Amino acid sequence: MSKISPQVANRRIESFNKRFGKAHLYLAYHAAFPLALTPNLLYRIWANFQRDIHAQVLDVPWIAVADVLLSSLCDEVGHELYEMDLSIRNVLLKRLQEDEKFGQQRINELSDFLLNYIQQQLQSDDPDLRDFAQAQYWTAIAYTKPSQAASELTATLKKAYHTDRADLIRLASLVETLAEPLAEFEPLLIDARKMRSFASSNQEAVEPPLAKNKFPKSLIFSGLALALVNISFWYLYEPAQAISMCMQSLIEPQSNNKAHGIGVADQDGRVDWTAVKNSGKTFAFVKATEGVAIKDSAFPNHWRTLKADGMIRGAYHFFHPNTSDPVEQAKEFLKTVGKFEPGDLPPVLDIEVTDNVDKQTVINAAKQWLAEIEKELKQQTGRTIKPIIYTYPGFWSELGNPSDFASYPLFIAHYGTQQPSIPSPWQGKYLFHEFEGDVSGVAGVSGKADLNYFNGSVQDLKCFAKSPSLFQVTSQLRNFISGQKITKTTEPIVSPTSTPFVSPTSTQVK
């Protein structure tokens, strides 16, 4: 699979879009998922994905199947067999993941579809057909279960190293093709290149040139367990379930599959939380209170049902720094929510209005709210729990980018991007990102909802919900495993690639 430059890939995609329109482009997004295409496979994709994840009709005509295959997006590589250039494929898949109509949920759906499609081919007597189906299988799971794909590919590469150089070249090329979803498994990518070079030479096969751990795997895990126990004395006071959950979060391979959730308030209408969960959402933030006098009438039902349906739940307070006393706001919030249970997310302070007072007054009022919440939670749970700060870049800049709150986990609202701009006090670190607001058609929601993701895996999120303190420690240990020094800090560890500041596309008002 060749690789043209990203600039050429984007030009071809834009030319295709200009010629055929958005509906055709949606099919091209989906066509990019399989490693290779046949007319039958693309027709099946067209027939099975007529709607987006919000059940909205995409209006893709059947002729789009031929238009995609015969366009400059695809190359014919065999009889009724087509491939997309790797750069084109990667750009289209990125757009699919970032489009609110599709996102990771559609990637998961495409993976399930492709796995079902190739089941019979995996048992074929034709070795070429079987090998091709196996490559499609690894493609499907690389985007949804990258650790499993990496493990299976590593084992298969080792076997081919000793038995079949031609197959080794094929497998090594496949790994390079899947470099993007397997990006976190850098040793595998390096080894695949080494093996491909070896297979093209006349060297004798001795030991496969695979990267080796410096210590036995069992010793590493034992050392991690010991380090986790001894990293801090307060660790012993954490819930036992949190210890197991955070250990699992620590040792599982990191992936790009972030945990997704939604946010709702009373005006968003009735919510079927079972449907929300079945759509792939893991967590939800629901509005509890605003100021002192305003209480979300739907909150009690949301809070109770979220727990019953097994979703990770969080409650937020819309803060008014001037219209009512900050301490009284905190007390009303806690009174409305009731007891925070292990597995609930920390309280969220939604701070995005000034109530026409100066920035220092806003800052001081927010500090009072946070202090009262921390004090009450300490009495309620016996543990120190830091509330989460929700804001957006423009508002925090308006406050003068105060560094007073950098020790609190950040929930950033920045619409229209998957890489939010982070206010400078947090030094690029954030835990939650609200990337779209007031969205209609969200599965299970009859009104509108905000779309969020947690900057980590589902297992990371479960660890954080059970024990924010242990989540911090496991994050530090993960950095240590990667060769970074563990340092004492009160800040969350999860950090994205830094991005230039981009103004939010709309004011973040609940």
| For residues 193-203, average pLDDT | 54
H, E, C per residue of 198-265: HHCCCCCCCCCCCCCCCCCHHHHHHHHHHHHHHCCHHHHHCCHHHHHHHHHHHHCCCCCCCEEEEEEC
* pLDDT, greater one: 140 or 185: 140
Q: At what angle do helices 240-251 and 217-230 cross, to 10 degrees?
A: 140
Q: What was the pLDDT predicted at 117?
A: 85
The answer, yes or no, to whether residue 15 has pLDDT greater than 60, is yes
Higher pLDDT, 63 or 506: 63
Q: Say how many C-beta atoms besides its own lie within 10 A of residue 235's C-beta.
A: 17
**Domain-by-domain residue ranges, the chain?**
6-140, 159-212, 216-256+462-495, 259-455
80-102 burial string, b = 16+ CB within 10 Å, else e?
Answer: eebbbbbbbbbbbbebbbeeeeb
Residue 164 is predicted with a pLDDT of 53
Does the domain at 259-455 match CATH 3.20.20.80? Answer given as yes
Rounded to 10 degrees, the C-alpha dihedral 129/92/31/168 comes to 0
Query: In whole angstroms, how far apart are CA 460 and each of 259, 275, 345, 479?
Result: 9, 23, 12, 14
Segment 231-247 mean pLDDT: 51
Q: What's the confidence (pLDDT) of residue 238?
A: 47
Mean pLDDT of the chain: 79
Predicted pLDDT of residue 75: 87
Q: Is 477 within 8 Å of 460 (Cβ atoms)?
A: no
User: How far is it, in rounded angstroms, from Cα 399 to Cα 315?
Assistant: 24
Range 115-124 average pLDDT: 78
- Alpha-carbon gap, residue 19 to 380, rounded angstroms: 62
pLDDT of 166 strictly over 80: no
pLDDT band at 125 (very low <50, low <70, confident <90, very high): confident
Report how far residue 283's alpha carbon sits from residue 507's, in angstroms, rounded to the nearest whole number.
Answer: 23
**β-strands 283-290, 259-264: how paired?**
parallel
Half-sphere exposure of 314 (CA within 13 A, CB side): 29
User: For 285-340, how does the pLDDT look when each residue is reduced to its tens digit (9 = 90+)?
Assistant: 999 999 998 999 899 999 999 999 999 999 999 999 998 899 999 999 999 999 88
pLDDT of res. 256? 64
pLDDT at position 277? 94
Q: Name the pTM for this structure.
A: 0.54
490 has a pLDDT exceeding 60: no
Q: What is the pLDDT of residues 352-365, one digit of tens each?
A: 999 999 999 999 99
Q: Is the pLDDT of residue 392 over 70?
A: yes
**Radius of gyration of the chain, Cα coordinates, nearest whole angstrom:** 25
- Please give the residue that has the higher pLDDT: either 159 or 482: 159
pLDDT at 504 over 60: no
For the chain, count helices (H), then strands (E): 20, 11
- DSSP β-bridge partners for residue 284: 262, 313
Average confidence (pLDDT) over 377-401: 90
494 pLDDT above the threshold of 80: no
Q: How confident is the model at residue 90 (pLDDT cuts 50, 70, 90)?
A: confident
For residues 488-497, average pLDDT: 38
Model confidence band, residue 341 (pLDDT cutoffs 50, 70, 90) = confident
Helix, coil or strand: residue 389? strand
Nearest to 176 by CA among 132, 142, 140: 142
Q: How far is CA 327 from CA 296, 300, 333, in A?
A: 19, 22, 10
Please report the DSSP string for 271-291 in residue order.
Answer: B-HHHHHHTT--EEEEEEEET
CA distances from 343 to 121, 249, 340, 468 (A): 43, 15, 8, 10
Mean pLDDT of 148-176: 65
Q: What percent of the chain has pLDDT over 90?
A: 44
